[in-house]
Amino acid sequence: MKARFIDIDGVSTRVLWAGSGPAVLLLHGVGMSGDTFIRNIDALAQRYSVFAPDMLGHGFTASAAFDGAPQPAMVGHLGRLADALGLDRYSALGSSYGALVAGLMWFDRPERVDNLVIVGSGSAFHPAGEQRETLEAALANASRAMGEPTLESCRARLAAICHDAETVAEEILLTQLTSYALPDRFDAYKATIRGLIGTIESDEHRIYSRLEQLRARTLIVTGRNDIRADWRRHVEARRRMPNARLVVFDACGHLPYMEHPAEFNDIVGTFLGGAEVGD
């Protein structure tokens, strides 16, 4: 795995990358960074070209102003990043908020996105009222880590959303602490959350009301013990989507790719290779 910084319209953008073959973008959740996929990048890179960018105002990618709604800014930035990387076609795997962004990328450029993988995403699959509560809970949890970051507060933030605290990726905590210490990170996070809450009823900025139109070949992965994304909502979403399959991990919280990496990597790698997995 390597890291590089790419200028995207004046925005310094960090990307972790590895491998060769069909391209896959890994999109992290709100307040996270590409490092959250530390246990997946090299494994998936055995078959694919894997890119894990830090989204705008996250990790080590610079912030950019957006007018109320962060989603169009994120989608546009990632689309231009894909262009800069020379990716004519790619699959998009998104976790939580990153899954919403991945779905919106398909609606923005359906001819470019080969497959979607949606991982534990209330942003994608919760109705508005439930998602408002989820975002408020996420803000409270992250504020304890980002307001005055320490190594322990970063660990506690991840432990709160994993089913088993022992599965937290200790190998990313120092990097996460460093990014949280950047002077604009907490403000960027709060602006993103406020924008998501402010657009909670918007069909344009969400995919919940448009799942029947989302024709991309899609794999939904969720944890049965996820406190941020109700697995039952993922079952309902799979029934609404015309070309989706579903895998539910037992004894798993919000980060199945971190909590059960070997099984996750195998399932996702198989799906991206064109085989059917899940129900």
| CB proximity list for 143: less than 8 A, separation 6 or greater | 186
Q: For the residues 157-186, what does the mean pLDDT come to? A: 96
Share above pLDDT 90 across residues of the chain, in percent, rounded to a whole number: 94
State pLDDT tens for residues 36-91: 999 999 999 999 999 999 999 999 999 988 888 999 999 999 999 999 999 999 99
Q: For the residues 252-263, what does the mean pLDDT come to? A: 98
Q: What share of the chain is helix, strand, coil (3-state, %, to 5)?
A: 45, 20, 35
| Topology of the domain comprising 2-272 | Rossmann fold (3.40.50)
The H-assigned helical ranges of 9-57 are 41-44
Tell me: pLDDT of 189 over 90.
Answer: yes
Share above pLDDT 70 across residues of the chain, in percent, rounded to a whole number: 100
Tell me: pLDDT of 116 over 90.
Answer: yes
Average pLDDT, the chain: 96
Give the 3-state secondary structure of residue 50: strand
Give the 3-state secondary structure of residue 15: strand
Q: What is the pLDDT of residue 106?
A: 98
Give me the residues paired with residue 141 across strands. Answer: none
Q: Is the pTM of this model over 0.85?
A: yes
Q: What is the pLDDT of residue 142?
A: 83
State pLDDT tens for residues 14-29: 999 999 999 999 999 9
Q: 234-248 in b/e burial notation, b at 16+ Cβ within 10 A?
A: beebbeebeebbbbb
Q: What is the pLDDT of residue 174?
A: 97
Q: What is the pLDDT of residue 15?
A: 98
Tell me: pLDDT of 268 over 90.
Answer: yes
How many C-beta atoms surround the C-beta of residue 171 within 10 A?
10
Q: What is the pLDDT of residue 23?
A: 98
Q: What is the pLDDT of residue 111?
A: 97
State pLDDT tens for residues 128-164: 999 999 999 888 888 888 888 999 999 999 999 999 9
